[in-house]
Amino acid sequence: AAAAEEPIAPPVQVNYTKLLINGNFVDSASGKTFPTRDPRTGEVIAHVAEGDAEDINRAVAAARKAFDEGPWPRMTAYVNTQLDILVSVVSWPSTMLTDGRNLPLQERSRILLRFADLIEKHNDELAALETWDNGKPYEQAAHIEVPMMARLMRYYAGWTDKIHGLVVPADGPHHVQILHEPIGVAGQIIPWNFPLLMFAWKVGPALACGNTIVLKTAEQTPLSALYTAKLLHEAGLPEGVVNVVSGFGPTAGAALASHMDVDKLAFTGSTDTGKIVLELSARSNLKPVTLELGGKSPFIIMDDADVDHAVELAHFALFFNQGQCCCAGSRTFVHERVYDEFVEKAKARALKRVVGDPFRKGVEQGPQIDDEQFNKILRYIRSGVDSGAILVTGGDRLGDKGFYVQPTIFSDVQDGMKIAKEEIFGPVQSILKFKDLNEVIKRANASQYGLAAGVFTNNLDTANTLTRALKVGTVWVNCFDIFDAAIPFGGYKMSGIGREKGIDSLKNYLQVKAVVTPLKNP
């Protein structure tokens, strides 16, 4: 379907294109830049400083200094200004006072809360920049993603003074403390599909735990993170705590993953690249690595389903964000009793999908991110046709400019086909037929991936059986893509290691220290 209407976003400028190191925007050491493009046209938006190993070295040195000498990791939980006065009156050691090194812990929380306020204040500019660089619908960026980012920051602001160790009873007369300390300098590598949210998922927990950061953005979408990092500093973040380097994977990304002075690595991207960065860690200093990788998530529709509702949800599960979601419901399993009706209605829904300029009102789908992804998707579509799946609708590019792809559906997809096994990362829905519960459990689990699953049924027993049997990190029952800050996200199998968001994300950024002291008089 076509979009009309006027553009709905405010005009936006690109103000930040340099690397952010130690609180300052600087050129890359080489002086090189690279273009970032508008997916609607392929035209250059801006030239951005291109970071490489030397810039990663500079950024890691700044993060190291901020960790070893700056206030961020050593903010301690003592109370407020009134107590400061009391403290000075009773002349407690001066290190207990706010002297620039020892800030009160609540200052960490305050900075994250101010950051959340600034995100809200600049909601529309952030969303417009995100749409320009990424191609996602402006309404999605403005009404879902930027607000989610503010929510995430408030969630992590709330954790800052609730991260603590334990005292445990142990055999023998010993006093056993388990201390939780920040790990140190965290290296973070993010992808292009949700540039702002991936930034937030990464820096939120790392900052809450008191770490310092070097973050490398994806080469396709460097702009919104630079703007956001500027807001973080406006909120009062000390210099060197968050450093942002734009650049390419094999150069800047690999330098970060193999750096000897980076204490932890968090990566989101493809499974192939995840394997590379894990190996780079192993070959360098064995920094612990968390990975959020690819998926081929099943969306299972049982025979008791309200078909209209199931069609809508399965459509959203796959087509959201141009199909560029690691957890996209990309294997739509439909019970044979509702299969024909489902395929018919899924086709009608795809034909109704509004594809067009993402800056226009009501647009559901913008262009794919770049020509590489665009061509890869078209190759997968050809492979689907060649392998004998039925092309129900779509199957080609849309228009002759930019990277738009028609909403595409295949039915009669078989498990062994490439389109049923590999991640397409585009608006291509594969519908598979099944007969019974045990069969669909086996087939859904027969994947190298295990990121997420959708289950659609009104039968409580069926839902319980499926949620327990599926080998995936998230099961959405009668819903999909629910991503609150408190809900952990991550994968089984080759979909990743570790969890982001929620309480589990804190573990990624804490070192555990056991302190054992003999007890004289237990």
Binding site for ligand ADP (CB under 6 A): 189-191, 216, 218-219, 248-250, 253-254, 257, 269-270, 273, 276-277
Structure tokens at 348: 């009608």
For residue 220, the minimal CB distance to ligand ADP (Å) is 7
Which residue, 1 or 497, is less far from ligand ADP as judged by CB? 497
For residue 253, the minimal CB distance to ligand ADP (Å) is 2
CA dist 374 and 46 (Å) reads: 21
Whether 463 and 451 have beta carbons less than 8 Å apart is answered as: no
The residue count of the chain comes to: 522
Which residue, 187 or 356, is less far from ligand ADP as judged by CB? 187
Which residue, 273 or 495, is less far from ligand ADP as judged by CB? 273
Q: Running DSSP on this structure, what letter comes out for residue 251?
A: I
For residue 341, the minimal CB distance to ligand ADP (Å) is 35
For residue 217, the minimal CB distance to ligand ADP (Å) is 6
User: Chain-centre distance of CA 123, in angstroms?
Assistant: 19
For residue 221, the minimal CB distance to ligand ADP (Å) is 9
Residues paired with residue 255 on neighbouring β-strands, in sequence order: none
- Torsional sign, CA 120, 122, 126, 127: positive
Structure tokens at 405: 């792809």
- Which of 134, 180, 202 is CA-nearest to residue 368? 134
Which residue, 140 or 273, is less far from ligand ADP as judged by CB? 273
Which residue, 180 or 421, is less far from ligand ADP as judged by CB? 421
Which residue, 144 or 254, is less far from ligand ADP as judged by CB? 254
Residue type (1 letter), 406: Q
Q: Is-catalytic flag, 5?
A: no
For residue 274, the minimal CB distance to ligand ADP (Å) is 7
Q: Running DSSP on this structure, what letter comes out for residue 365?
A: B
| Residue partners of 433: CB distance under 8 A and separation at least 6 | 333, 334, 335, 336, 339, 412
Q: Running DSSP on this structure, what letter comes out for residue 438?
A: H
Element spanning 68, H or E? helix 53-68
Which residue, 270 or 478, is less far from ligand ADP as judged by CB? 270
For residue 208, the minimal CB distance to ligand ADP (Å) is 23
CA dist 276 and 18 (Å) reads: 27
Taking residue 399's Cβ as centre, other Cβ atoms within 10 Å add up to 12
Q: Running DSSP on this structure, what letter comes out for residue 405?
A: B
Three-class SS of 280-339? HHHHCCCCCEEEECCCCCEEEECCCCCHHHHHHHHHHHHHHHHHCCCCCCCEEEEECCCH
Residue whose C-beta lies closest to ligand ADP = 249
**From 125, 139, 292, 423, the catalytic residue:** 292
CB hemisphere CA count around 130 (13 angstroms)? 29
CA dist 138 and 130 (Å) reads: 8
Q: Running DSSP on this structure, what letter comes out for residue 73?
A: G
CA distances 449 to 277, 331, 492, Å, are 18, 12, 7
User: Which residues are marked as active site?
Assistant: 292
